[in-house]
Protein backbone atom coordinates (compact mmCIF):
# COMPACT_ATOMS: atom_id res chain seq x y z
CA UNK A 1 0.00 0.00 0.00
CA UNK A 2 3.03 2.29 0.47
CA UNK A 3 3.38 3.25 -3.18
CA UNK A 4 -0.35 3.82 -3.74
CA UNK A 5 -1.47 7.44 -3.42
CA UNK A 6 -4.13 7.91 -6.06
CA UNK A 7 -7.17 6.01 -7.32
CA UNK A 8 -5.32 5.53 -10.62
CA UNK A 9 -2.44 3.79 -8.82
CA UNK A 10 -4.86 1.70 -6.76
CA UNK A 11 -6.79 0.55 -9.84
CA UNK A 12 -3.59 -0.17 -11.74
CA UNK A 13 -2.22 -2.20 -8.84
CA UNK A 14 -5.37 -4.24 -8.18
CA UNK A 15 -6.14 -4.81 -11.87
CA UNK A 16 -2.58 -6.02 -12.48
CA UNK A 17 -2.95 -8.63 -9.77
CA UNK A 18 -6.41 -9.65 -11.02
CA UNK A 19 -5.06 -10.15 -14.56
CA UNK A 20 -2.30 -12.38 -13.20
CA UNK A 21 -4.87 -14.32 -11.17
CA UNK A 22 -7.11 -14.73 -14.23
CA UNK A 23 -4.19 -16.18 -16.22
CA UNK A 24 -3.52 -18.62 -13.34
CA UNK A 25 -7.21 -19.58 -13.33
CA UNK A 26 -7.26 -20.12 -17.11
CA UNK A 27 -4.23 -22.40 -16.78
CA UNK A 28 -5.76 -24.25 -13.82
CA UNK A 29 -9.18 -24.85 -15.39
CA UNK A 30 -8.13 -27.50 -17.98
CA UNK A 31 -6.10 -29.27 -15.28
CA UNK A 32 -9.14 -29.34 -12.97
CA UNK A 33 -11.32 -30.54 -15.85
CA UNK A 34 -8.83 -33.30 -16.63
CA UNK A 35 -8.68 -34.34 -12.98
CA UNK A 36 -12.47 -34.32 -12.59
CA UNK A 37 -13.36 -36.07 -15.84
CA UNK A 38 -10.19 -38.16 -16.18
CA UNK A 39 -11.88 -41.45 -15.32
CA UNK A 40 -15.27 -40.84 -16.93
CA UNK A 41 -14.55 -43.35 -19.73
CA UNK A 42 -13.50 -46.14 -17.39
CA UNK B 1 -55.33 -55.60 21.96
CA UNK B 2 -52.99 -54.80 24.82
CA UNK B 3 -50.07 -56.01 22.65
CA UNK B 4 -51.17 -53.65 19.85
CA UNK B 5 -51.37 -50.74 22.27
CA UNK B 6 -47.92 -51.51 23.62
CA UNK B 7 -46.53 -51.79 20.10
CA UNK B 8 -48.12 -48.48 19.12
CA UNK B 9 -46.77 -46.86 22.27
CA UNK B 10 -43.31 -48.20 21.46
CA UNK B 11 -43.43 -46.86 17.91
CA UNK B 12 -44.56 -43.39 19.09
CA UNK B 13 -42.09 -42.97 21.96
CA UNK B 14 -38.92 -43.33 19.92
CA UNK B 15 -35.84 -41.35 21.05
CA UNK B 16 -36.31 -38.96 18.11
CA UNK B 17 -39.98 -38.35 18.94
CA UNK B 18 -39.27 -37.80 22.64
CA UNK B 19 -36.48 -35.28 21.96
CA UNK B 20 -38.55 -33.57 19.24
CA UNK B 21 -41.55 -33.41 21.60
CA UNK B 22 -39.48 -31.74 24.34
CA UNK B 23 -38.08 -29.23 21.82
CA UNK B 24 -41.56 -28.43 20.49
CA UNK B 25 -42.96 -27.87 24.02
CA UNK B 26 -39.98 -25.64 24.89
CA UNK B 27 -40.38 -23.80 21.58
CA UNK B 28 -44.06 -23.12 22.24
CA UNK B 29 -43.19 -21.80 25.70
CA UNK B 30 -40.54 -19.42 24.27
CA UNK B 31 -43.01 -18.39 21.56
CA UNK B 32 -45.50 -17.38 24.23
CA UNK B 33 -42.79 -15.40 26.07
CA UNK B 34 -41.61 -13.73 22.83
CA UNK B 35 -45.09 -12.55 21.81
CA UNK B 36 -46.16 -11.45 25.30
CA UNK B 37 -42.94 -9.98 26.75
CA UNK B 38 -41.24 -8.81 23.54
CA UNK B 39 -37.72 -8.99 22.10
CA UNK B 40 -36.07 -7.64 25.27
CA UNK B 41 -37.10 -10.66 27.32
CA UNK B 42 -36.07 -13.28 24.77
CA UNK B 43 -33.10 -11.90 22.83
CA UNK B 44 -29.74 -10.18 23.28
CA UNK B 45 -30.47 -7.82 20.38
CA UNK B 46 -29.53 -4.16 20.74
CA UNK B 47 -29.29 -1.00 18.64
CA UNK B 48 -25.77 -2.05 17.64
CA UNK B 49 -26.87 -5.61 16.86
CA UNK B 50 -30.46 -5.48 15.61
CA UNK B 51 -30.07 -8.73 13.65
CA UNK B 52 -29.21 -11.89 15.58
CA UNK B 53 -29.46 -15.59 14.81
CA UNK B 54 -33.13 -15.32 13.87
CA UNK B 55 -31.87 -13.46 10.80
CA UNK B 56 -28.35 -14.93 10.55
CA UNK B 57 -29.42 -18.57 10.88
CA UNK B 58 -33.18 -18.89 10.38
CA UNK B 59 -33.36 -16.52 7.44
CA UNK B 60 -29.94 -16.33 5.72
CA UNK B 61 -29.03 -20.00 6.24
CA UNK B 62 -32.64 -21.14 5.78
CA UNK B 63 -33.02 -19.44 2.41
CA UNK B 64 -29.62 -20.70 1.20
CA UNK B 65 -30.26 -24.30 2.24
CA UNK B 66 -33.72 -24.21 0.65
CA UNK B 67 -32.10 -23.48 -2.73
CA UNK B 68 -32.20 -27.18 -3.65
CA UNK B 69 -35.70 -26.64 -5.03
CA UNK B 70 -34.79 -24.25 -7.81
CA UNK B 71 -31.41 -25.92 -8.48
CA UNK B 72 -32.94 -29.38 -8.96
CA UNK B 73 -36.02 -28.27 -10.91
CA UNK B 74 -33.82 -26.12 -13.19
CA UNK B 75 -31.46 -29.08 -13.78
CA UNK B 76 -34.32 -31.45 -14.61
CA UNK B 77 -36.88 -29.28 -16.43
CA UNK B 78 -34.77 -26.51 -18.01
CA UNK B 79 -31.45 -28.31 -18.65
CA UNK B 80 -33.24 -31.59 -19.44
CA UNK B 81 -31.32 -33.79 -17.00
CA UNK B 82 -34.24 -36.19 -16.62
CA UNK B 83 -32.09 -38.81 -14.93
CA UNK B 84 -32.25 -36.66 -11.76
CA UNK B 85 -36.06 -36.55 -11.82
CA UNK B 86 -36.37 -38.65 -8.65
CA UNK B 87 -34.72 -35.83 -6.69
CA UNK B 88 -37.22 -33.15 -7.73
CA UNK B 89 -40.02 -33.82 -5.26
CA UNK B 90 -37.84 -34.18 -2.13
CA UNK B 91 -35.94 -31.03 -3.19
CA UNK B 92 -39.15 -29.06 -3.82
CA UNK B 93 -40.54 -30.24 -0.48
CA UNK B 94 -37.32 -29.22 1.33
CA UNK B 95 -37.45 -25.85 -0.42
CA UNK B 96 -41.11 -25.30 0.38
CA UNK B 97 -40.71 -26.22 4.06
CA UNK B 98 -37.49 -24.18 4.23
CA UNK B 99 -39.16 -21.03 2.92
CA UNK B 100 -42.31 -21.55 4.99
CA UNK B 101 -40.14 -21.79 8.12
CA UNK B 102 -38.14 -18.73 7.05
CA UNK B 103 -41.40 -16.75 6.98
CA UNK B 104 -42.39 -18.26 10.34
CA UNK B 105 -39.01 -17.33 11.85
CA UNK B 106 -39.26 -13.83 10.42
CA UNK B 107 -42.40 -13.30 12.50
CA UNK B 108 -40.41 -13.90 15.68
CA UNK B 109 -37.90 -11.22 14.67
CA UNK B 110 -40.29 -8.67 13.20
CA UNK B 111 -43.26 -9.25 15.51
CA UNK B 112 -46.91 -8.36 14.89
CA UNK B 113 -47.54 -11.12 12.30
CA UNK B 114 -50.83 -9.60 11.19
CA UNK B 115 -48.78 -6.77 9.65
CA UNK B 116 -46.83 -9.13 7.36
CA UNK B 117 -48.77 -8.00 4.23
CA UNK B 118 -48.19 -4.29 5.03
CA UNK B 119 -45.14 -3.90 2.75
CA UNK B 120 -47.30 -5.00 -0.20
CA UNK B 121 -50.61 -3.36 0.66
CA UNK B 122 -50.08 -0.33 2.92
CA UNK B 123 -46.50 0.93 2.73
CA UNK B 124 -44.68 -0.17 -0.41
CA UNK B 125 -40.97 0.60 -0.05
CA UNK B 126 -40.16 -0.19 -3.66
CA UNK B 127 -36.67 1.36 -3.44
CA UNK B 128 -35.69 -0.95 -0.57
CA UNK B 129 -33.77 -4.19 -1.00
CA UNK B 130 -35.80 -5.61 1.88
CA UNK B 131 -38.96 -4.96 -0.12
CA UNK B 132 -37.48 -6.91 -3.02
CA UNK B 133 -36.44 -9.75 -0.73
CA UNK B 134 -39.90 -9.77 0.89
CA UNK B 135 -41.70 -9.72 -2.46
CA UNK B 136 -39.49 -12.47 -3.93
CA UNK B 137 -39.79 -14.71 -0.86
CA UNK B 138 -43.58 -14.27 -0.80
CA UNK B 139 -43.86 -15.02 -4.53
CA UNK B 140 -41.37 -17.89 -4.45
CA UNK B 141 -43.09 -19.48 -1.44
CA UNK B 142 -46.30 -19.41 -3.50
CA UNK B 143 -44.47 -20.91 -6.49
CA UNK B 144 -42.98 -23.66 -4.31
CA UNK B 145 -46.39 -24.40 -2.82
CA UNK B 146 -47.90 -24.86 -6.30
CA UNK B 147 -44.89 -26.93 -7.41
CA UNK B 148 -45.37 -29.12 -4.34
CA UNK B 149 -49.14 -29.63 -4.80
CA UNK B 150 -48.99 -32.58 -7.26
CA UNK B 151 -47.89 -34.78 -4.34
CA UNK B 152 -50.83 -33.97 -2.00
CA UNK B 153 -53.22 -33.95 -4.99
CA UNK B 154 -52.08 -37.47 -5.95
CA UNK B 155 -52.41 -38.49 -2.30
CA UNK B 156 -55.96 -37.11 -2.16
CA UNK B 157 -56.87 -38.49 -5.59
CA UNK B 158 -57.68 -35.12 -7.23
CA UNK B 159 -56.67 -36.13 -10.76
CA UNK B 160 -58.02 -33.11 -12.66
CA UNK B 161 -56.45 -30.53 -10.35
CA UNK B 162 -53.17 -32.47 -10.49
CA UNK B 163 -53.27 -32.48 -14.31
CA UNK B 164 -53.67 -28.68 -14.36
CA UNK B 165 -50.76 -28.10 -11.95
CA UNK B 166 -48.49 -30.49 -13.87
CA UNK B 167 -49.05 -28.42 -17.04
CA UNK B 168 -47.66 -25.41 -15.20
CA UNK B 169 -44.37 -27.16 -14.30
CA UNK B 170 -42.13 -25.36 -16.81
CA UNK B 171 -43.61 -21.91 -16.10
CA UNK B 172 -43.23 -22.43 -12.36
CA UNK B 173 -39.64 -23.62 -12.76
CA UNK B 174 -38.72 -20.51 -14.76
CA UNK B 175 -40.45 -18.30 -12.18
CA UNK B 176 -38.59 -20.13 -9.42
CA UNK B 177 -35.18 -19.62 -11.03
CA UNK B 178 -35.83 -15.90 -11.68
CA UNK B 179 -37.17 -15.22 -8.18
CA UNK B 180 -34.35 -17.17 -6.55
CA UNK B 181 -31.69 -15.35 -8.57
CA UNK B 182 -33.21 -12.08 -7.41
CA UNK B 183 -33.64 -12.66 -3.70
CA UNK B 184 -30.64 -14.94 -3.02
CA UNK B 185 -28.37 -12.19 -4.32
CA UNK B 186 -30.40 -9.42 -2.64
CA UNK B 187 -29.88 -11.02 0.75
CA UNK B 188 -26.17 -10.43 0.22
CA UNK B 189 -26.83 -6.97 -1.18
CA UNK B 190 -28.44 -6.03 2.16
CA UNK B 191 -24.90 -5.81 3.56
CA UNK B 192 -23.78 -3.33 0.90
CA UNK B 193 -25.29 -0.63 3.11
CA UNK B 194 -22.86 -1.44 5.94
CA UNK B 195 -19.32 -1.17 4.51
CA UNK B 196 -17.98 0.25 7.77
CA UNK B 197 -19.58 -2.44 9.94
CA UNK B 198 -18.69 -5.62 8.04
CA UNK B 199 -15.02 -6.65 8.11
CA UNK B 200 -13.32 -5.81 4.78
CA UNK B 201 -12.46 -9.47 4.12
CA UNK B 202 -16.17 -10.34 4.06
CA UNK B 203 -17.47 -7.06 2.70
CA UNK B 204 -17.21 -6.79 -1.05
CA UNK B 205 -19.07 -5.05 -3.86
CA UNK B 206 -19.44 -8.60 -5.21
CA UNK B 207 -21.29 -9.85 -2.10
CA UNK B 208 -24.64 -10.29 -3.96
CA UNK B 209 -22.85 -12.56 -6.46
CA UNK B 210 -21.18 -14.47 -3.60
CA UNK B 211 -24.57 -15.05 -1.97
CA UNK B 212 -26.13 -16.25 -5.21
CA UNK B 213 -23.29 -18.64 -6.04
CA UNK B 214 -23.17 -20.03 -2.50
CA UNK B 215 -26.92 -20.64 -2.73
CA UNK B 216 -26.28 -22.93 -5.74
CA UNK B 217 -23.58 -24.73 -3.75
CA UNK B 218 -25.97 -24.99 -0.77
CA UNK B 219 -28.77 -26.29 -3.00
CA UNK B 220 -26.62 -28.98 -4.65
CA UNK B 221 -25.09 -30.09 -1.34
CA UNK B 222 -28.40 -30.05 0.49
CA UNK B 223 -30.02 -32.33 -2.12
CA UNK B 224 -27.17 -34.86 -1.68
CA UNK B 225 -27.22 -34.51 2.12
CA UNK B 226 -31.00 -34.73 2.41
CA UNK B 227 -31.03 -37.67 -0.05
CA UNK B 228 -28.58 -39.62 2.09
CA UNK B 229 -30.60 -38.90 5.27
CA UNK B 230 -33.82 -39.95 3.51
CA UNK B 231 -32.16 -43.18 2.34
CA UNK B 232 -31.00 -43.91 5.87
CA UNK B 233 -34.21 -43.14 7.75
CA UNK B 234 -37.01 -43.36 5.14
CA UNK B 235 -35.70 -46.12 2.88
CA UNK B 236 -38.93 -48.09 3.38
CA UNK B 237 -40.80 -45.25 1.66
CA UNK B 238 -38.53 -45.24 -1.42
CA UNK B 239 -39.32 -47.13 -4.61
CA UNK B 240 -36.76 -48.99 -6.74
CA UNK B 241 -36.26 -46.05 -9.08
CA UNK B 242 -35.30 -43.71 -6.21
CA UNK B 243 -32.93 -46.25 -4.68
CA UNK B 244 -31.32 -47.11 -8.03
CA UNK B 245 -30.72 -43.48 -9.03
CA UNK B 246 -29.46 -42.15 -5.67
CA UNK B 247 -25.77 -42.85 -6.43
CA UNK B 248 -26.04 -41.35 -9.92
CA UNK B 249 -27.64 -38.28 -8.33
CA UNK B 250 -24.81 -37.92 -5.80
CA UNK B 251 -22.21 -38.24 -8.59
CA UNK B 252 -23.96 -35.74 -10.88
CA UNK B 253 -24.68 -33.14 -8.21
CA UNK B 254 -21.26 -33.71 -6.64
CA UNK B 255 -19.60 -32.95 -9.97
CA UNK B 256 -21.63 -29.77 -10.36
CA UNK B 257 -20.87 -28.74 -6.75
CA UNK B 258 -17.13 -29.32 -7.37
CA UNK B 259 -17.21 -26.92 -10.31
CA UNK B 260 -19.27 -24.25 -8.58
CA UNK B 261 -17.15 -24.43 -5.40
CA UNK B 262 -13.98 -24.12 -7.47
CA UNK B 263 -15.38 -21.10 -9.29
CA UNK B 264 -16.49 -19.58 -5.98
CA UNK B 265 -13.00 -20.05 -4.53
CA UNK B 266 -11.52 -18.27 -7.53
CA UNK B 267 -13.84 -15.27 -7.40
CA UNK B 268 -13.32 -14.97 -3.64
CA UNK B 269 -9.56 -14.66 -4.25
CA UNK B 270 -10.25 -12.15 -7.02
CA UNK B 271 -12.45 -10.26 -4.52
CA UNK B 272 -9.50 -9.95 -2.11
CA UNK B 273 -7.33 -8.68 -4.96
CA UNK B 274 -9.95 -6.22 -6.22
CA UNK B 275 -10.14 -4.50 -2.81
CA UNK B 276 -6.40 -4.98 -2.10
CA UNK B 277 -7.23 -6.66 1.20
CA UNK B 278 -4.19 -8.96 1.32
CA UNK B 279 -2.75 -7.29 4.43
CA UNK B 280 -5.84 -8.21 6.49
CA UNK B 281 -5.03 -11.91 6.02
CA UNK B 282 -2.25 -11.59 8.59
CA UNK B 283 -4.73 -10.60 11.34
CA UNK B 284 -6.92 -12.79 13.59
CA UNK B 285 -9.94 -12.17 11.38
CA UNK B 286 -7.70 -13.02 8.41
CA UNK B 287 -6.89 -16.41 9.96
CA UNK B 288 -10.61 -17.12 10.42
CA UNK B 289 -11.29 -15.97 6.84
CA UNK B 290 -8.63 -18.39 5.59
CA UNK B 291 -10.21 -21.21 7.64
CA UNK B 292 -13.51 -20.46 5.87
CA UNK B 293 -11.91 -20.11 2.44
CA UNK B 294 -9.70 -23.20 2.56
CA UNK B 295 -11.55 -25.35 5.11
CA UNK B 296 -15.10 -24.82 3.85
CA UNK B 297 -14.57 -23.94 0.17
CA UNK B 298 -11.28 -25.34 -1.21
CA UNK B 299 -11.34 -28.54 0.85
CA UNK B 300 -14.93 -29.56 -0.08
CA UNK B 301 -14.23 -28.61 -3.72
CA UNK B 302 -11.26 -31.00 -3.73
CA UNK B 303 -13.17 -33.72 -1.83
CA UNK B 304 -16.09 -33.48 -4.29
CA UNK B 305 -13.62 -33.80 -7.20
CA UNK B 306 -11.92 -36.76 -5.58
CA UNK B 307 -15.26 -38.40 -4.79
CA UNK B 308 -16.51 -37.97 -8.37
CA UNK B 309 -13.21 -39.11 -9.89
CA UNK B 310 -12.94 -42.19 -7.68
CA UNK B 311 -16.70 -42.92 -7.72
CA UNK B 312 -16.63 -42.64 -3.94
CA UNK B 313 -20.26 -41.95 -2.98
CA UNK B 314 -19.49 -42.03 0.74
CA UNK B 315 -16.92 -39.25 0.35
CA UNK B 316 -19.39 -37.19 -1.70
CA UNK B 317 -22.06 -37.55 1.01
CA UNK B 318 -19.71 -36.51 3.82
CA UNK B 319 -18.48 -33.61 1.69
CA UNK B 320 -22.09 -32.50 1.15
CA UNK B 321 -22.62 -32.41 4.94
CA UNK B 322 -19.36 -30.48 5.36
CA UNK B 323 -20.39 -28.01 2.67
CA UNK B 324 -23.77 -27.43 4.33
CA UNK B 325 -21.84 -26.65 7.54
CA UNK B 326 -19.63 -24.31 5.49
CA UNK B 327 -22.68 -22.39 4.28
CA UNK B 328 -23.80 -21.97 7.90
CA UNK B 329 -20.31 -20.74 8.85
CA UNK B 330 -20.30 -18.27 5.93
CA UNK B 331 -23.68 -16.78 6.80
CA UNK B 332 -22.78 -16.62 10.52
CA UNK B 333 -19.51 -14.87 9.68
CA UNK B 334 -21.21 -12.24 7.53
CA UNK B 335 -24.18 -11.56 9.78
CA UNK B 336 -22.54 -11.90 13.20
CA UNK B 337 -18.83 -12.82 13.54
CA UNK B 338 -17.41 -10.23 11.13
CA UNK B 339 -20.29 -7.80 11.64
CA UNK B 340 -19.57 -4.94 14.08
CA UNK B 341 -16.00 -6.27 14.23
CA UNK B 342 -14.74 -2.88 15.42
CA UNK B 343 -16.89 -2.87 18.58
CA UNK B 344 -15.37 -3.84 21.97
CA UNK B 345 -16.19 -7.38 23.05
CA UNK B 346 -18.62 -6.10 25.70
CA UNK B 347 -20.75 -4.62 22.91
CA UNK B 348 -20.64 -7.70 20.69
CA UNK B 349 -23.65 -9.94 20.19
CA UNK B 350 -24.04 -13.46 21.51
CA UNK B 351 -27.48 -15.07 21.21
CA UNK B 352 -29.75 -15.51 24.23
CA UNK B 353 -30.59 -19.14 25.00
CA UNK B 354 -34.20 -18.43 23.98
CA UNK B 355 -33.03 -17.28 20.54
CA UNK B 356 -31.14 -20.56 20.13
CA UNK B 357 -34.21 -22.40 21.44
CA UNK B 358 -36.46 -20.89 18.77
CA UNK B 359 -33.97 -21.73 16.02
CA UNK B 360 -33.74 -25.35 17.21
CA UNK B 361 -37.56 -25.43 17.48
CA UNK B 362 -37.94 -24.25 13.89
CA UNK B 363 -35.44 -26.79 12.51
CA UNK B 364 -37.24 -29.53 14.49
CA UNK B 365 -40.61 -28.37 13.13
CA UNK B 366 -39.13 -28.67 9.61
CA UNK B 367 -37.86 -32.20 10.26
CA UNK B 368 -41.21 -33.30 11.70
CA UNK B 369 -43.14 -31.78 8.78
CA UNK B 370 -40.75 -33.41 6.26
CA UNK B 371 -41.18 -36.81 7.90
CA UNK B 372 -44.95 -36.39 8.21
CA UNK B 373 -45.30 -35.57 4.50
CA UNK B 374 -42.78 -38.17 3.24
CA UNK B 375 -44.46 -40.99 5.18
CA UNK B 376 -47.88 -40.15 3.67
CA UNK B 377 -47.49 -38.58 0.23
CA UNK B 378 -45.68 -39.78 -2.92
CA UNK B 379 -42.43 -37.85 -2.37
CA UNK B 380 -39.85 -40.65 -2.36
CA UNK B 381 -41.80 -42.91 -4.73
CA UNK B 382 -43.87 -42.53 -7.89
CA UNK B 383 -47.60 -42.91 -7.35
CA UNK B 384 -48.64 -46.00 -9.39
CA UNK B 385 -51.77 -44.27 -10.79
CA UNK B 386 -49.92 -41.35 -12.39
CA UNK B 387 -47.34 -40.81 -15.12
CA UNK B 388 -44.14 -39.05 -13.93
CA UNK B 389 -44.07 -35.43 -15.10
B270 touches chain A (CB under 8 A): yes
- Structural domain count of chain B: 1
Segment B51-73 shows an average pLDDT of: 94
Of B266, B274, B279, the CB nearest to A14: B274
pLDDT at A37 over 90: no
Does residue B340 lie within any of the structural domains?
Answer: yes
Segment B103-132 shows an average pLDDT of: 89
A17, A31, A40: best mutation site toward chain B, by most B Cβ within 10 Å?
A17
- As a whole-number percent, the residues of chain B with pLDDT over 90 amount to 82
Q: CA separation (Å) from B15 to B54, B137, B360?
A: 27, 35, 17
Does residue B32 lie within any of the structural domains?
Answer: no
pLDDT score of B387: 74
Question: Which residues from B are below 8 Å from A32, CB to CB?
Answer: 262, 305
Segment B217-243 shows an average pLDDT of: 91
3-state secondary structure of B203: coil
pLDDT at A42 over 70: no
Does residue B69 lie within any of the structural domains?
Answer: yes
Segment B51-76 shows an average pLDDT of: 94
pLDDT score of B9: 54
Distance CA B120, CA B347 (A): 35
- Residues B222/B324, Cβ–Cβ less than 8 Å: yes
Does residue B234 lie within any of the structural domains?
Answer: yes
State whether B276 and A25 contact (CB < 8 Å): no
State whether B266 and A39 contact (CB < 8 Å): no
pLDDT score of B2: 47
Segment A4-18 shows an average pLDDT of: 94
Query: Residue A8: which pLDDT band, with cuts at 50, 70 and 90?
Result: very high
- Residues B108/B358, Cβ–Cβ less than 8 Å: yes
pLDDT at B85 over 60: yes
Q: Model confidence over B281-309: pLDDT tens digits?
A: 999 999 999 999 999 999 999 999 999 99
Q: Phi/psi of residue B276, each to 5°?
A: 55, 50
Does residue B213 lie within any of the structural domains?
Answer: yes
Does residue B42 lie within any of the structural domains?
Answer: no
What sign does the dihedral B34-B40-B43-B49 (CA atoms) show? Answer: positive
Segment B238-242 shows an average pLDDT of: 87
- Bigger pLDDT: B56 or B241? B56
Segment B99-122 shows an average pLDDT of: 91
- Chain A 1-40, residues with CB within 8 Å of chain B CB atoms: 1, 4, 10, 13-14, 17-18, 21-22, 25, 32, 35-36, 38-39
Number of H helices, E strands in chain A: 1, 0
Neighbouring C-alpha atoms within 13 Å toward the C-beta of B199: 26
Does residue B6 lie within any of the structural domains?
Answer: no
Distance CA B35, CA B114 (A): 12
pLDDT at B4 over 80: no
Segment B225-241 shows an average pLDDT of: 90
Q: Model confidence over B14-33: pLDDT tens digits?
A: 999 999 999 999 999 999 99
State whether B270 and A21 contact (CB < 8 Å): yes
Distance CA B389, CA B387 (A): 6
Segment B350-368 shows an average pLDDT of: 96
- Residues B74/B85, Cβ–Cβ less than 8 Å: no
Of B266, B270, B308, the CB nearest to A36: B308
Does residue B248 lie within any of the structural domains?
Answer: yes
Highest mean pLDDT among B136-140, B237-241, B289-293: B289-293
pLDDT at B210 over 50: yes
pLDDT score of B8: 52
Mean pLDDT of chain B: 92
Q: Model confidence over B139-184: pLDDT tens digits?
A: 999 999 999 999 999 999 999 999 999 999 999 999 999 999 999 9
CATH number (domain holding residue B89) = 1.20.1630.10
Q: At what angle do helices B169-189 and B207-233 cross, to 10 degrees?
A: 120
Segment B261-273 shows an average pLDDT of: 96
Q: Which of B206-220, B252-266, B284-298, B374-388 has the lowest mean pLDDT?
A: B374-388
Of B291, B286, B293, B288, nearest to B270 (Cα)?
B293
Query: Residue B360: which pLDDT band, with cuts at 50, 70 and 90?
Result: very high
pLDDT score of B152: 93
Range of the domain at B346: 49-374
Of B374, B69, B92, nearest to B230 (Cα)?
B374
Distance CA B138, CA B290 (A): 36
- As a whole-number percent, the residues of chain B with pLDDT over 70 amount to 97
Amino acid sequence: MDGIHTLQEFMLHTKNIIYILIICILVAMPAIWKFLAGRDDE
Amino acid sequence: MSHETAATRNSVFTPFNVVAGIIVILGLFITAVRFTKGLGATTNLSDNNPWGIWIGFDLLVGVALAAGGYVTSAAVYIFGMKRFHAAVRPAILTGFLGYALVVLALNYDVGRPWRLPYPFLISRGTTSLLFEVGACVALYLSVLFIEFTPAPLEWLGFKKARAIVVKLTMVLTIFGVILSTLHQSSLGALFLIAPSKLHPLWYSPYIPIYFFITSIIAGLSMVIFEGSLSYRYLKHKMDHHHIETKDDLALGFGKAAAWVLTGYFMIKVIGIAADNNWHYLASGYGAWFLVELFGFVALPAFCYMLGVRENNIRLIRWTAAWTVLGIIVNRFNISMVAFNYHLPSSERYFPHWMEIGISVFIVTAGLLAFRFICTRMPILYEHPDYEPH
